[in-house]
Structure 1
Amino acid sequence: MKKPLLYILSTILILTSPFASFAQDIMPPTLPWSGKSKELLVDKSHKWVTPFELSDGLESPTYSETIAWVEKLVANSEYLRIVTLGTSEQGRPIELVIASKDRSFSEDELSTSKKPLIFFQAGIHAGEIDGKDAGMMLLRDISQGNKLALLDDANLLFIPILNVDGHERRSEYGRVNQRGPKEMGWRTNAQNLNLNRDYTKLETAGIQAVAKVINSFDPDLYVDIHVTDGADYQYDITYGYVATGGYSPQISNWLSTYFQPEVDQALKDEGHIPGPLLFAANGNDFTQGNVAFSFSPRFSHTYGDIKHIPSILIENHSLKPFEQRVLGTYVFLEQAIKTVSRHFSELQAAVKSDKNQKPSEITVKFAFRETPADSMEFLGIASRTETSAITGRDYVVWEGKKITQIVPSILMDRPVENVQVPKAYWIPAEWGAVIQKMKAHGIEMEILTQEKELNLEFSTVGEYKMSSQPYEGLLRIQSVELDKLKRTVTLQPGSARISTDQSLAELVVILMEPESIDSFFQWGYFNSILAQTEYMETYIMEPLIAKMLSEDADLKKRFEEEKASNPEFTKSPRTVYSWFYKQTPYFDQNWKVIPIGRER
């Protein structure tokens, strides 16, 4: 196909740009590395050498190259199968590879197998693609090499590329602060949505596919593989899970007792340096401590936590070479299989305990502890500050020299807002889009087949402030004052009753209660209730108010009290009219009433 002139000119500009290799050339110095895990690489003459290995660990294949290689591998193994989960916004299939020595490939077989089922995904942020190449190598060694015994321990689910459209928006300029691969994909999807902010609202094809896997296959471990942004340090493979401030305490205990020690040791044995998730408290270096955030369930590992699935977020260090990161990911995944199998009975007991919680109240908002929890030995990289000749401000320069620091651990796990758990929630039929999203989360519900009259509790909106700009394509509620009212309503067929007597009660509450930052209300799905659509003319209001005051002594008393307590009240005729309008039966009784009913 003949290329458009604009495409040709833009390509020439990129190739001749003086910035073509700047980012890689001016990165902080890297530490020398030659870990034992290099032995995992096969020779270039190997029949099943991956494109990553052919490139000396410098490149990652395109979508079509990846899928072609995987399909060929699957066609040559009775233990592998590839299935399509869905189609991306640009029309690309989102593929899932299943590995089972028993050749159990159906949802029913895998979800009921006595073996653990491990689900790992790559490329949710498509430039952060280490997991794809590590997974390809691991599947190769399982199906064509000497590691078939891993399938005695577990069945596997693997999405090589989740954000398939972002993956194909690839170039040498994908991630300015990441050391390889040579070409990288883009963080967001084709609609500029971040898939790892989509787990509660389920707007993207990618996360809808993940939800389908979780609901249908019921995995026993969920691993989401990323590459970091940010500061320099010695660790190459950092990862985390919800240790405190979450909704699955027994799973968290299992991860800290069994999983983390064994995975850390395996990584160390292979020449890697594992560490926790790292976020500099001051945004630059770790002199003021490391922050452990309480992420909301819009993120992968915290969504897994609220669904009572052991879930891991891997963040390989962006400043480490691509080959080192991929090999570390391989070691992590291999050991994860072994550890889950070795301690599966304990894991099952932990999951069962967390699923059977019957909380009377649930925390919907966490804050930082008032003092650091403790301190940690931090394997850092020396840095200095320099004053910019451009901005006049100080900035950090990393020097590539190992240092050890003791830094505070700052935890965001202090509950600051709880809500009481009702017996059930009711969603009216007219809010069917929200009902469908609840179904997509795997939440159990009953659907009305005929009209039903109910006395329910609702939240009402007082003063509120909208976000000044869209976030993930939606206008969110930035702040809000809430109150409650009880009323009798008649719900139509198609309305949904969602009991909280189910294993996903915590997720139900987080999505339904407006105080929760990941509620459908705060995401903006009920913004239309904030619009007032009926009004009363002044030529009606004036005689009506006079009549009301003459006939209702209590109303007259309340009017006088309002004037006395609020000097600004009578300065605005509109405010006075509005006050009286709200006292009439003509006023819209549904205005600013969030249409989620609570059954107490």
Structure 2
Amino acid sequence: MKRLLSLILLFTSFPLLAQDLMPPLLPWSGQSESLIVEDSNPWVTPGELTDLTESPTYKETMDWLQKLANSSPYLEMKSLGKSEQGRDIFLLIASKSQKFSPEELAQENKATLFFHGGIHAGEIDGKDAGMMLLRDIVHGDKMQLLDKANILFIPILNVDGHERRSEFGRVNQRGPKEMGWRTNARNLNLNRDYTKVETSGVKAVISVLNSYQPDLYVDVHVTDGADYQYDVTYGYVKTGGYSPAISQFLSETFQTEVDQALKDWGHIPGPLLFAANGDDFSEGNIAFSFSPRFSHTYGDARHIPSILIENHSLKPFRQRVLGTYVFLEQAISTISSHHDAIEKAIANDQAQAKKELIVRFKFRDNPADTMDFLGIASQKLKSPNTGAEYVQWLGKPITQQVPSLLMDVPAASVNLPKAYYIPVEWTEVIEKLKIHGIEMETLTGPLEIELEFDFLTDYQLANQQLEGKVRFRSFETTPIQRKVTLNPGSVRVNTDQEKGILAALLLEPQSVDSFFQWGYFMPILSQTEYIEAYILEPMIVQMLGKDPELKQEFEAKKADDSEFASNPRQIYRWFYEKTPYFDQNWKVIPIGKSR
């Protein structure tokens, strides 16, 4: 009780908010400020009433959006399901034809933009920008955006984290005044969940991707970390991915048009920025190869043009929201103007030959190039508290030549089989494949078949859990051939399908975000049958008497391995593994492969 009272007193008497301690702010004004409507406008958003210094609660947001949807025949609002705490995850659909089902929209020759805000609920820029944009479409002068495009919008994805809001939501971000929490009610990070699909939010996103098959998917975030001049940074899988035609379109067409629009409206667009040394950009900017657990790389694996926006956390909420609005408006215009090119790129990537799959990437030995980096001056200071150096940002714009460090060199690859087989008893894995929309054939009767399996020869588990799961720190496998009988309900997953690459990334053990590496096959590590010494001793005598080669192998092992020779348990184990009584399924990853 005393500790609780102490904490309450500490928080209520906390001297300063983190926003009072942030680096100096560069002055900003831009044409996009004209997008904010007057307070007297009947459709002014709750955020605009505060000059975009605050963002509305879940209830305020949904009440306002439902009222907007009720006021226009071009909008429909529907629930995609419930969050872990029972809140609805709402989707808004904007359609000029007033048709809203996936089947109806699929019949239209129109581009479709799907975006959401608040996957990390404190990073809520997309919600307020989307509210303003939809308002200007149905009650302003931007209805023409719906002439050639349909819009899908989840205002708040992590709805439970959104309501865990306070002035202490995000320590390194300039607004809004109250910010939600990064993770959901079960403390899971939605943008680490796209392969394992443990959260209701990501299941909702994937249901939209499966049903509506958008031409562009945009996930709106706010950065952590360093200071620089850019206010809207964004990225996509440029190299080292699975959709090269889409990447080319995004690089040569989409980015060119969106960057120009942002500049015209007074913003400074930039690429995704990650300081190589973790502090400043003197040693370069890292272009990571994200794995498919993240939104935009998951989209790339599915051949969906996908963008990750990372607005700069040290810029004011007002500036970030307006930049997001400009980005989204231009994104709609661009995919409308180049709809045929997008469809062609998607088709080309879906038609790729599926023979070999890269499952892990590493950095290039040398920087790919250098970039003119619009940075902020900084200095290193020695902490009087720790004795270590830390970065202090000085609020003065500078231009630097910064090396670009690309992580796009293949580090591991696998040969794709014709099909994967998952036994019926691994129901959870089969259900997750269904959530992803992966095509499969369910066996209606028993099937005897010879398949290749991966046998674990060595492994180490991670010391710490990640997202509630224990992953593998390292492991080695060797292929084995086995004839098995699969029971009814088992599934066959053909790799020659639209989501064949995604299926392989989920089922190949070597893939960074495979179901195996996320720990869904942990029971195979447990050995559950044993043998007693009084049985094994006479059995060993018989084995050595009948098999001279085995006896020679045993004597050689004792001569070469003194620890083995002096350890009865190891000797018993060695012989036991050579009997047909030993568990034949132990450490065999139960995903069969048909070559």
- What interval of TM-score do these two structures reach, taking the shorter chain for normalisation? over 0.9
Match of 1:410 in 2: 405
Match of 2:561 in 1: 566
Answer yes or no: is 1:485 the counterpart of 2:480.
Answer: yes
Q: CA deviation at 1:541?
A: 1.5
Checking the alignment, whether the CA contact within 8 Å between 1:111 and 1:117 is kept in structure 2 is no
Answer yes or no: is 1:207 the counterpart of 2:202.
Answer: yes
Match of 2:26 among 31, 36, 46: 31
- SS of 2:360's equivalent? strand
For 1:247-262, what aligned pairs fall within 5 Å after superposition? 247-262=242-257
Match of 1:50 in 2: 45
Answer yes or no: is 1:384 the counterpart of 2:346.
Answer: no
Match of 2:177 among 170, 175, 182: 182
Match of 2:262 among 251, 263, 267: 267
Match of 2:117 in 1: 122
- SS of 1:377's equivalent? strand
**Pair 1:14–1:343, CA change in 2 (3 A):** farther
Checking the alignment, whether the CA contact within 8 Å between 1:123 and 1:225 is kept in structure 2 is yes
Q: CA deviation at 1:22?
A: 2.8
Q: CA deviation at 1:481?
A: 1.1
Answer yes or no: is 1:18 the counterpart of 2:14.
Answer: yes
- Which amino acid counterpart does residue 187 of structure 2 have in structure 1? N
Checking the alignment, whether the CA contact within 8 Å between 1:287 and 1:407 is kept in structure 2 is yes
Q: CA deviation at 1:10?
A: 9.0
CA distance in 2, matches of 1:563, 1:498: 46
Match of 1:164 in 2: 159
Match of 1:147 in 2: 142
Q: CA deviation at 1:359?
A: 2.3
Match of 2:84 in 1: 89
Answer yes or no: is 1:457 the counterpart of 2:459.
Answer: no
Q: Which ranges in structure 1 are unaligned for 5 or more consecutive residues? A: none
CA distance in 1, matches of 2:545, 2:309: 70
Q: CA deviation at 1:366?
A: 0.4
CA offset digits 1:529-563 (Å, max 9, x no partner): 00011111112121111111011112112212322
Match of 2:304 in 1: 309
- Which amino acid counterpart does residue 387 of structure 1 have in structure 2? K
CA distance in 2, matches of 1:589, 1:488: 12
CA distance in 2, matches of 1:340, 1:123: 23
CA distance in 2, matches of 1:17, 1:424: 62
Q: CA deviation at 1:251?
A: 0.1
Match of 1:471 in 2: 466
Checking the alignment, whether the CA contact within 8 Å between 2:419 and 2:493 is kept in structure 1 is yes
CA distance in 1, matches of 2:573, 2:177: 63
- SS of 2:298's equivalent? helix
Match of 1:346 in 2: 341
CA distance in 1, matches of 2:150, 2:382: 54
CA offset digits 1:274-296 (Å, max 9, x no partner): 00000000000000000000000
- SS of 1:51's equivalent? coil
Q: CA deviation at 1:60?
A: 0.2
Taking structure 1 as the reference length, the TM-score comes to: 0.98
CA distance in 1, matches of 2:480, 2:83: 43
Match of 1:131 among 91, 104, 126: 126
Q: CA deviation at 1:568?
A: 2.4
Checking the alignment, whether the CA contact within 8 Å between 1:424 and 1:499 is kept in structure 2 is yes
Match of 2:106 among 103, 111, 128: 111
**Pair 1:123–1:14, CA change in 2 (3 A):** farther
CA distance in 2, matches of 1:507, 1:561: 47
Q: CA deviation at 1:29?
A: 0.7
Q: CA deviation at 1:222?
A: 0.1
- Which amino acid counterpart does residue 541 of structure 1 have in structure 2? L
CA distance in 1, matches of 2:558, 2:333: 73
Q: Indicate the larger mover: 275-284 or 464-473.
A: 464-473
Q: CA deviation at 1:419?
A: 0.1
Checking the alignment, whether the CA contact within 8 Å between 2:559 and 2:565 is kept in structure 1 is no
Answer yes or no: is 1:66 the counterpart of 2:29.
Answer: no
Q: CA deviation at 1:9?
A: 6.8
Q: Indicate the larger mover: 573-582 or 231-240.
A: 573-582
CA distance in 2, matches of 1:291, 1:391: 28
For 1:510-589, what aligned pairs fall within 5 Å after superposition? 510-589=505-584
CA distance in 1, matches of 2:149, 2:356: 36
Q: Which ranges in structure 2 are unaligned for 5 or more consecutive residues? A: none
Match of 2:322 in 1: 327
CA distance in 1, matches of 2:551, 2:60: 78
Checking the alignment, whether the CA contact within 8 Å between 1:37 and 1:327 is kept in structure 2 is yes
Taking structure 2 as the reference length, the TM-score comes to: 0.98
For 1:231-310, what aligned pairs fall within 5 Å after superposition? 231-310=226-305
- Which amino acid counterpart does residue 269 of structure 2 have in structure 1? P
CA distance in 2, matches of 1:427, 1:10: 54
- SS of 1:507's equivalent? helix
CA distance in 2, matches of 1:57, 1:14: 30
Checking the alignment, whether the CA contact within 8 Å between 2:364 and 2:409 is kept in structure 1 is yes
CA offset digits 1:24-44 (Å, max 9, x no partner): 111001100011100000001
CA offset digits 1:495-541 (Å, max 9, x no partner): 00000110111111111111111110000000000001111111212
Checking the alignment, whether the CA contact within 8 Å between 1:101 and 1:151 is kept in structure 2 is yes
Match of 2:187 in 1: 192
Checking the alignment, whether the CA contact within 8 Å between 2:354 and 2:496 is kept in structure 1 is no
For 1:388-403, what aligned pairs fall within 5 Å after superposition? 388-403=383-398
Q: CA deviation at 1:113?
A: 2.0
- Which amino acid counterpart does residue 441 of structure 1 have in structure 2? H
CA distance in 2, matches of 1:158, 1:380: 33
- Which amino acid counterpart does residue 178 of structure 1 have in structure 2? Q
Q: CA deviation at 1:12?
A: 6.3
Match of 1:221 in 2: 216
Q: CA deviation at 1:16?
A: 3.0
CA distance in 1, matches of 2:314, 2:541: 74
- SS of 2:590's equivalent? coil
CA distance in 2, matches of 1:311, 1:110: 20
Match of 2:367 in 1: 372
- SS of 2:310's equivalent? strand
CA offset digits 1:122-155 (Å, max 9, x no partner): 0000000000000000000001111011000200
Checking the alignment, whether the CA contact within 8 Å between 1:111 and 1:219 is kept in structure 2 is no
Q: CA deviation at 1:468?
A: 1.1
Answer yes or no: is 1:434 the counterpart of 2:429.
Answer: yes
CA distance in 2, matches of 1:13, 1:141: 46
Checking the alignment, whether the CA contact within 8 Å between 2:299 and 2:306 is kept in structure 1 is yes
Q: CA deviation at 1:565?
A: 3.3
Q: Indicate the larger mover: 55-64 or 554-563.
A: 554-563
- SS of 2:177's equivalent? coil
- Which amino acid counterpart does residue 392 of structure 2 have in structure 1? V
Checking the alignment, whether the CA contact within 8 Å between 1:111 and 1:216 is kept in structure 2 is no
Answer yes or no: is 1:502 the counterpart of 2:494.
Answer: no
- SS of 2:513's equivalent? coil
Q: CA deviation at 1:111?
A: 2.8
